[in-house]
Amino acid sequence: MDTPQPRWMDADLTLFQDSTRRLFDREFVPDEEKWRKQQHADREVWHKAGRMGLLCVSMPEVYGGGGGSFAHEAIVASEQARAMVYGFSNNVHSAILAHYILNYGTESQKQRWLPKMATGELVGAIAMSEPGAGSDLKSVRTTAVKDGGVYVVSGSKTFITNGLHANLICVVAKTDPQAGARGVSLVMVETQDLPGFRRGRLLEKLGQKSLDTAELFFDSVRVPQANLLGEVEGKGFTQLMQQLPRERLLIAVGAVATMRRAIDETLAYTQARQVFGQPLIDMQNTRFKLAECETVATIAARFVDDCVNRQLDGTLDLSTAAMAKWWTTQMNCQVIDECLQLHGGYGYMLEYPIARMYADARVGKIYGGSNEIMKEIIARSMTA
Per-residue pLDDT tens over the stretch 166-188? 999 999 999 999 998 899 999 99
- Single residue among 122, 153, 187 that ends a domain in this structure: 122
Beta carbons within 10 angstroms of residue 268's beta carbon: 11
Q: Active-site residue 376, yes or no?
A: no
pLDDT of residue 3: 61
pLDDT value of position 127: 96
Per-residue pLDDT at 369 exceeds 60? yes
The runs of H, that is alpha helices, within the chain are 11-23, 32-38, 44-51, 70-83, 90, 98-104, 107-119, 236-272, 284-313, 318-342, 353-361, 371-383
203 and 100 together in one domain: no
Residue 142 shares a structural domain with residue 70: no
Q: What is the distance between the terminal CA atoms of the chain, rounded to a whole angstrom?
A: 42
Identify the domain containing residue 116 by its residue range: 11-122
Which of 63, 96, 122 marks a domain boundary? Answer: 122
Q: Is the pLDDT of residue 323 over 80?
A: yes
Residue 61 is predicted with a pLDDT of: 98
Higher-scoring residue by pLDDT: 98, 139: 98
Instruction: List the single range of 24-33, 164-173, 233-242, 346-355 with lowest mean pLDDT.
Output: 233-242
Backbone angles phi, psi at 267, to 5 degrees: -60, -45
Distance of alpha carbon 368 from alpha carbon 112, whole angstroms = 27
Buried b / exposed e along 191-202 (16+ C-beta atoms within 10 A):
beebeebebeeb
Q: What is the pLDDT averaged over residues 144-173? A: 97
Q: Which residues contact 255 (CB under 8 A, 6 or more apart)?
A: 81, 300, 328, 329, 331, 332, 361, 364
Q: What is the average pLDDT score of the chain?
A: 96
Is the pLDDT at 138 greater than 80? The verdict is: no
Q: Is the pLDDT of residue 2 over 70?
A: no
DSSP string covering 121-142, please?
SS-EEEE--BTTBSS-GGG---
Distance of alpha carbon 366 from alpha carbon 364, whole angstroms: 5
Helix (H, G, I), strand (E, B) or coil at 27: helix
Cα dihedral 61, 18, 23, 67, rounded to 10, equals 10
Tell me what pLDDT residue 139 has. Answer: 80
Residue 218 sits at the vertex; the CA angle it makes with 149 and 232, to the nearest 5 degrees, is: 40
CA distances, 251 to each of 27, 285, 368 (Å): 23, 31, 8
200 with 173, same domain: the answer is yes
Q: What's the confidence (pLDDT) of residue 134?
A: 65
Encode pLDDT of 189-224 as tens digits.
999 999 999 999 999 999 999 999 999 999 999 999
Residue where a domain stops, chosen among 122, 153, 176: 122
Say if residue 243 is in the same domain as residue 375: yes
Does 6 fall in a domain?
no
Chain segment 326-359, per-residue pLDDT in tens: 999 999 999 999 999 999 999 999 999 999 999 9
Show the CA angle centred on residue 354, arms to residues 351 and 356, nearest 5°: 65
Q: Is the pLDDT of residue 135 over 80?
A: no
137 & 21 share domain: no
125 - beta bridge partners?
169
Can you say how many angstroms the Cα of residue 56 is from the centroid of all Cα atoms in its chain? 14
- Overall number of domains in the chain: 3
Asked if residue 4 has pLDDT above 80, the reply is no
Mean pLDDT on 57-64? 98
**Distance (Å, rounded) from C-alpha 284 to C-alpha 47?**
49
- Say yes or no: 241 and 371 in one domain: yes
257 and 377 co-located in one domain: yes
Residues 23-27, mean pLDDT to the nearest whole number: 98
Which is catalytic among the residues 247, 292, 372, 376? 247
**Any domain includes 3:** no
Give pTM, 2 decimals: 0.96
> What pLDDT does residue 234 have?
96
